[in-house]
Amino acid sequence: MASNEETTGPVSKEDIEAAEKLKNEANEYFKKQNYNSAIELYTKAIEKNPNHAVYYGNRSISNLRLENFGYALGDASKAIELDRGYTKAYYRRAAAHMSLGKYKLALKDFEYVTKVRPNDQDAKMKFNECNKIVKKIAFEKAISVDKKEVNIADSINLESMTIEDEYEGPGLEDGKVTLKFVTELMEFYKQQKKLHKKYAYKILIDVKAYLQKQPSLVDIKVADDKKFTVCGDIHGQYYDLMNIFALNGLPSETNPYLFNGDFVDRGSFSVECIFTLFSFKLLFPNHFFMSRGNHETLDMNRMYGFRGEVTSKYTAQMADLFTEVYNWLPLAHCINSRVLVMHGGLFSKDDITLDDIRKVDRNKQPPEDGIMCELLWSDPQPMMGRAPSKRGVGCQFGPDVTANFLQRNGLDYVIRSHEVKNDGYELAHDGKCITVFSAPNYCDTMGNLGAFITMNGKDLEPNFTTYEAVPHPDVKPMAYANSFLSMLCQ
């Protein structure tokens, strides 16, 4: 690697030593899973010595852990440019490509390593694994083209599913979700038991039928003297979801909620989270709302655990049905025509209106750009204007973009989720862009608080409640994730 040091001119011995010291400090933060601090120090090391591939490689893996796939991709590419023989950089770039659903580009990186290192068994194994995924996806696509008209929800035969005598869990009453059912279900799940597949399928079929009738932007009316709660990402952290209800009361017609996307993935109790939330949606359709997040998508579910979890606890067919249901989740909600809530953020264009959001055809996997993509993926930035996304999808938008959007659409402020925050929430853009994140100690590693927002209909003033993580059974996050991805991120 040292042979590339002439790339941007000579670096003094003092700077080389200082950079190594910074890298070693950064490595300690990385080991403690404090990735933001690690990134800061790797960046300082790069400033001292911009010619050392490992600094970029290490910053790349840190960004991968924070889901900054765009930055991870750029750093891995820079590391490769500095040292063509740096195998880990190819693996990290491949992991970033895979996280963005670009499996063929990932395969190219593995193919290159196998060519330059024909005797490297590890590289060969990773190439073969990635090749299997690419072929499987191609096969699934081919089948889905053949079955374009097949609607999984319509093809489920509930009558043929029998409830075994030994099943002791909650049951739907006359095929309907009741408060008794949801209350029993939540307790049943706390004991790590499984809802009968017949009831699980019925809930999904009914939720899909309801969501299909909803617009892409749902208008919510909250009376002056009534409370409304907005929660951010839950990410399969079922016991923390139960804690929210313990702190803030169960959802009801007098205690309405909006859950703002990313209900699943990473946390290993995603099935429990989504069936609880969907049950409340069916029970209180006009007082319980759910927005689509970037993790209610096929590529994310394939990599980050939800698809594996559903297949393990139920069937691959049910995993496909979830994909079908998620396609119908609304993309945004507007409270009293004054507060817009979406999972990701604002847009790369200036002239977007609420009507444009209403007109989005959402029944699909999100495209790589445009309104739907940006609602699910964008992030605020402190600088004015816009920048390419650190995630490699969507955009980053500044305070001026937020102010212009609010003025154009007669709004007071926006609420979004999508990013871990140490306090569980963050006010940006003069308080006009609020992030709320409801999964405390995210992935059992980040040490962050969770938060939710309460407001009343009259002034819509946001109030923040924060809380720590609660204990959960010993099932690690990412237990069902694609093992290949975690292997690449070592």
Give 3's pLDDT tier (boundaries 50, 70, 90). Answer: very low
Domain assignment present for residue 76? The answer is: yes
Domain assignment present for residue 150? The answer is: no
Identify the domain boundary among 125, 144, 163.
144
Domain assignment present for residue 300? The answer is: yes
Say yes or no to pLDDT of 144 above 90: no
pLDDT at 375: 98
Identify the domain boundary among 91, 113, 144.
144
Q: Are residues 472 and 394 in the same domain?
A: yes
Q: Are residues 68 and 168 in the same domain?
A: no
Q: Are residues 123 and 159 in the same domain?
A: no
Average pLDDT of the segment spanning 375-394: 97
Identify the domain boundary among 144, 166, 185.
144
Q: Are residues 181 and 37 in the same domain?
A: no
Q: Are residues 48 and 121 in the same domain?
A: yes
Q: Are residues 389 and 296 in the same domain?
A: yes
Tell me the per-residue pLDDT of 428-485, one tens digit each, with 9 for 90 and over.
Answer: 999 999 999 999 999 998 899 999 999 999 999 999 999 999 999 999 998 998 776 6
CATH code of the domain in which 264 resides: 3.60.21.10
pLDDT at 132: 87
Q: Are residues 121 and 253 in the same domain?
A: no
Q: Are residues 78 and 174 in the same domain?
A: no
Give 52's pLDDT tier (boundaries 50, 70, 90). Answer: very high
Domain assignment present for residue 337? The answer is: yes
Tell me the per-residue pLDDT of 270-290, one tens digit each, with 9 for 90 and over.
Answer: 999 999 999 999 999 999 999
Structural domain that includes position 352: 155-485
Domain assignment present for residue 393? The answer is: yes
Q: What is the pTM of this model?
A: 0.93
Catalytic residues: 295
**String of b and e for 404-433 (b: at least 16 CB within 10 Å)?**
ebbeebebbbbbbbbbbbeebbbebbeebb
Domain assignment present for residue 490? The answer is: no
Q: Are residues 173 and 106 in the same domain?
A: no
Nearest alpha-carbon partner for 323 in 283, 280, 361, 366: 366
Q: Are residues 138 and 159 in the same domain?
A: no
Domain assignment present for residue 59? The answer is: yes
Count of domains in the chain?
2
Q: Are residues 167 and 109 in the same domain?
A: no
Domain assignment present for residue 463? The answer is: yes
Say yes or no to pLDDT of 6 above 90: no
Tell me the per-residue pLDDT of 172-200, one tens digit each, with 9 for 90 and over.
Answer: 999 999 999 999 999 999 999 999 999 99
